[in-house]
A and B are shown apart, each in its own frame.
Chain A
Amino acid sequence: MTATLLDALALLGSFDHRLLEIVGLSLRVSLSALLIGTLLGLPLGAWLAVADFPGRGACNVALNALMGLPSVVVGVLVYLALSRSGPLGGYGLLFSPAAMIVAQSVLVVPLIAAVTRQIVEDAWREYAPEFSVIGIGRPQAVRLLLADCRFSLSVATLAGLGRAMSEVGAVMIVGGNIDGYTRVMTTAIALETSKGDLALSIALGIVLMSIILTLNVVAYGLRCWAARRYG
């Protein structure tokens, strides 16, 4: 066990090429999915917070349920959509990093949207009377509320990134875990562990945990600073 851990640290210390490649692809895929998730999830969640239409409650319940969507189910659905006979098969995305970004985005959007809806809805309850008297329309209210809640919403984006980076089932199915092309940290950990190469698995695990821990520290610091600066 100690020898394996030392091997893992040696891999990290030597900036192993294979390890860096896997980490680089993981970050590229997950950050791309986070970008898409943020661009879609934030406005969607904020709109659901301020909108008033029949079936809004059902939409919110569905959105909350989608937060717990099993990643392998998403993987299968995206696989079916991107496969040669699927509706998006013509784009030839299956078993590519793009397919992994699509799958992770499908997982991340509901999570960010649901957390955003909750945060923005709380602010909306406080601000709605004044917005109404001033004559602020819903589109402008969405923009103002997103700006007002920007620091709280860092939690939503952080949750989205955590979901994307820690996900394994969907990217395994739609990416194929192809060495040097679609192999990311989680799929590599799963594969190397099954092969018995625990050193690489542990090294990747340390990197994964370090990234998530660092992001949480940054988000916590940002929130503390914002609370002092903006109340």
Chain B
Amino acid sequence: MFPLRIAGLRFAPEGRVVLGGVDLELSGDGISVILGPNGAGKTLLLRLLAGLLPADGGSVDWGGAPVPAGRLAMVFQQPMLLRLSVFANVEFALRPQALRAPERKARTLAVLERVGLAHRARDCARQLSGGERQRLALARAWAMQPRLLLLDEPTASLDPTATEAVETIVREIRTEGAKVLMTTHNLGQATRLADDIIFLADGRVQEHETAPRFFARPHSPAARAYLQGELPWRITFDR
């Protein structure tokens, strides 16, 4: 499945170029964070990788193998929660994996315990707060034991406490061996989590650097402009 090689990935619905040819190679470990202004194609890139949209050109090579079923998970900005219990909202995602019922139950309870929602297993998922909902969505993805986890702005609209809880879970998922590819507008979060940064602008990858190098010396004008626009906020946050 890794290294994941993306070559010339293009998305241009009705001739309108949104992604104009993304070239990228991702190793199988660590957290890669995609940064870029609104409309750069960050979420679109995740959706193309997840197979939710057909690309208009280019290729994605999963280490020479097809995407193994159930080894890719995605958490959306607005998590989808069924009008069922917290437990059921995790358990249903394990059904395609041909696990036996006791194993599904054990894995579901274990992962709910790890995200701090075991005590709410019987509650209706839609009664959860925003932070708890996102933790539940992460629990669902984690229970699938993915090799690649795609996160689309997982902490957008969450308060700092809920954001910290989500970041802790993301780190744990990474530590267990999953590759994490996430988008965010939160530069503070990117500095806290990222091993490497992919900077997207104008439908192309402008930079792919280790996080310290990217934040210290962005070499593309677009990245420099983006960081300068965000820097005052980041300095305030870091204090």
Q: How many residues on B have C-beta within 8 angstroms of the other chain's C-beta atoms? A: 23
A91 within 8 A of B: no
Interface string of A113-155 (1 = CB under 8 A from B): 0000000000000110110111111001000100111110000
| Chain B nearest Cβ from A121, distance in angstroms | 16
Q: State whether A136 touches B95 (Cβ < 8 A).
A: yes
The size of the chain A interface, using a CB distance under 8 A, is: 21
Q: Which residues of B contact A150 (CB under 8 A)?
A: 83
Q: In this assembly, does A230 line the interface, its C-beta being within 8 Å of a C-beta of chain B? A: yes
Shortest CB-to-CB span from A88 to chain B, Å, is 40
Q: Is B50 an interface residue (CB 8 A)?
A: yes
Q: Is A195 in contact with chain B by the CB < 8 A criterion?
A: no
Q: How far is the CA of A150 from the CA of B88 in the complex (A)?
A: 15
The answer, yes or no, to whether A229 is at the interface (CB within 8 Å) is: yes
A231 in contact (CB, < 8 A): yes
A147's nearest neighbour on chain B, judged by CB, is: B84
Q: Taking A230-B83, A231-B83 as contacts, is the C-beta distance between A129 and B52 under 8 angstroms?
A: yes
Measured between beta carbons, the chain A residues less than 8 angstroms from B126 are 230-231
The answer to whether B80 and A127 touch across the interface, beta carbons within 8 angstroms, is: yes
A-B contact count (CB 8 A): 61
Instruction: Decide if A148 touches B70 in the complex (CB within 8 Å).
Output: no
* A230 to B144 alpha-carbon distance, docked (Å): 25
B127 beta carbon closer than 8 Å to chain A: yes
Chain A residues with CB below 8 A from B80, complex form: 126-127, 129-130
Q: Which of B47, B50, B73, B82 contacts A147 (CB 8 A)?
A: B82
B126 to chain A, nearest CB (A): 3
Contact B96 A144 (CB under 8 A): no
Let me know if B92 is at the binding interface, CB within 8 A: yes
- How many Å lie between the Cα of A170 and that of B47 in the bound state? 52
Known A-B contacts A230-B124, A230-B126, A231-B127; A133 and B82 likewise in contact (beta carbons under 8 Å): no
Q: Which residues of A contact B (CB under 8 A)?
A: 126-127, 129-130, 132-137, 140, 144, 147-151, 226, 229-231
With A129-B47, A134-B70 known, 6 other A-B pairs at CB within 8 A are A129-B76, A134-B140, A140-B95, A140-B96, A147-B84, A231-B124
- Where the two chains meet, the residues of B that have a C-beta atom closer than 8 Å to any C-beta of A are 47, 50-52, 69-70, 72-74, 76, 80, 82-84, 92-93, 95-96, 124, 126-127, 140, 144
What are 29 sample pairs from A and B whose C-beta atoms fall under 8 A apart? A129-B50, A129-B52, A129-B74, A130-B74, A130-B80, A132-B50, A132-B51, A133-B72, A133-B73, A134-B73, A134-B92, A134-B140, A134-B144, A135-B69, A135-B70, A135-B96, A136-B92, A136-B93, A136-B95, A136-B96, A137-B96, A140-B92, A140-B95, A147-B84, A229-B127, A230-B83, A230-B126, A231-B124, A231-B127
